[in-house]
Amino acid sequence: MTERPQRTAWIRRFHTAAADAPHVVFFPHGGAGATYFHPLSRALAPAVQALAVQYPGRQDRIAEPLVPDVGALADHIARELEPWADLPLVLFGHSLGSAVAFETAVRLERGGARVGALLASARRAPSLTTRRELPALESDREVLDILELLRGDTGAPIPEDPAFLELVLPTVRNDFHASNHYRAPDGLRLACPVIALAGESDPAVEVAEVERWSLHTTGPFRLRSFPGGHFYLDDRLEEIRAEIASAAGVVGA
């Protein structure tokens, strides 16, 4: 069996599953780090081994340069996943993470790896452009307004402490840039199943736009929508756990 590291520069593992457990790789949304998926990792263990991607420029990689391009992120991550390339990895991305997960899956399949499934959450299909004019994001206020819109009424308000904003806003602005400037060719398709997940009241993406992920696979496709906004999954831990476990082939998920 291939020897697999406990972690790499880009990959975090919070909980341990059985050696032969299926694996899921989590890709965070813009501005977020790997720890966003700690609750799902805990919920999936020990039936599924969760790995979470840690992008540079946040949390324990705060001192590293940010990467403002989805394709460049996917290049790095696909290489980091080589120790697991003999497994049928399930990839789960949320928002920006869906685009990065898709591009990573493309690279893995091109390299001969078998991707078990892609779960794309809260993101329009890769070939769709944005449906509205985006702000220039030149001011902190513009960035904060978008964050508040996406968060809706979930959680506490974003603190506007200058030290906090100085730490967080460059990362958020970088990730918004990467997200807003990403578009895949119409004909770029995966061979693996794709499961698209959407919040019915998401202010950033319509369910119909999420459904267009069907154009990016030659395999099975399924759309599932949930009540809630952009972060609908925060209130649906068990349902998302079951979706991932089912995609990973866990019996009785």
Q: Could you list the active site residues?
A: 95
Of 36, 37, 48, 122, nearest in space to 88 by CA: 48
Q: Specify the 3-state DSSP secondary structure of 219.
A: coil
Structure tokens given for 134:
């985006």
For residue 62, what are its two tokens?
């705060």
Taking the CB of residue 203, how many other CB atoms lie within 10 A of it?
Answer: 13
| Alpha-carbon span 195 to 102, nearest angstrom | 12
Instruction: Mark out the alpha helices in 66-117 (DSSP H runs).
Output: 70-80, 96-110
Tell me the C-alpha to C-alpha distance, in Å, between residue 224 and each of 39, 97, 143, 145, 239.
Answer: 21, 18, 29, 28, 11
Question: What DSSP character marks residue 50?
Answer: E
3-state SS of the chain: helix, strand, coil percent to 5?
40, 15, 45
